[in-house]
Structure 1
Amino acid sequence: MATLLFKLNNVPEDEAAEVRELLEQQGFHTYETSAGFFGLGVAAIWLVNASDKALAMEAIDAYQAERAIRMRAEYEARVARGEEPTLWDNIKASPMRFVGLLILLCFILSIMLLPFWYLI
Structure 2
Amino acid sequence: MTTLLLNLRRVPDDEADEVRALLERHDIPFYETRPSLWGVSAGGIWLTRPEDRQRAQALMAEYQQDRGQRQRAAYEEARRLGTAPTLWRRLREQPVQALAMLLAVIALLLITLLPFLTF
Aligned length: 119
**Equivalent residue for 1:29?**
29
Superposition deviation, residue 25 in structure 1: 1.5
TM-score normalized by the length of structure 1: 0.86
Superposition deviation, residue 35 in structure 1: 2.1
**Equivalent residue for 1:7?**
7
Superposition deviation, residue 89 in structure 1: 1.9
Deviates more, 1:37-46 or 1:74-83: 37-46
Q: Structure 2 unaligned runs (5+)? A: none
- Which structure 2 residues correspond to residues 1-120 of structure 1 after superposition, within 5 A? 1-41=1-41, 43-118=43-118
Counterpart AA for 1:113? L
Instruction: Report Cα offsets for 1:18-70 as digits up to 9, x if no partner.
Output: 11111112221112221254545552111111122111111111101110111
Report the aligned-residue RMSD.
1.9
Q: How much identity, in percent, do the aligned residues show?
A: 39
Counterpart AA for 2:13? E
- The 1:81–1:30 alpha-carbon spacing in structure 2 relative to 1, beyond 3 Å, is same
Counterpart AA for 2:88? W
TM-score normalized by the length of structure 2: 0.86
Deviates more, 1:75-84 or 1:96-105: 96-105
Q: Structure 1 unaligned runs (5+)? A: none
Deviates more, 1:51-60 or 1:85-94: 85-94
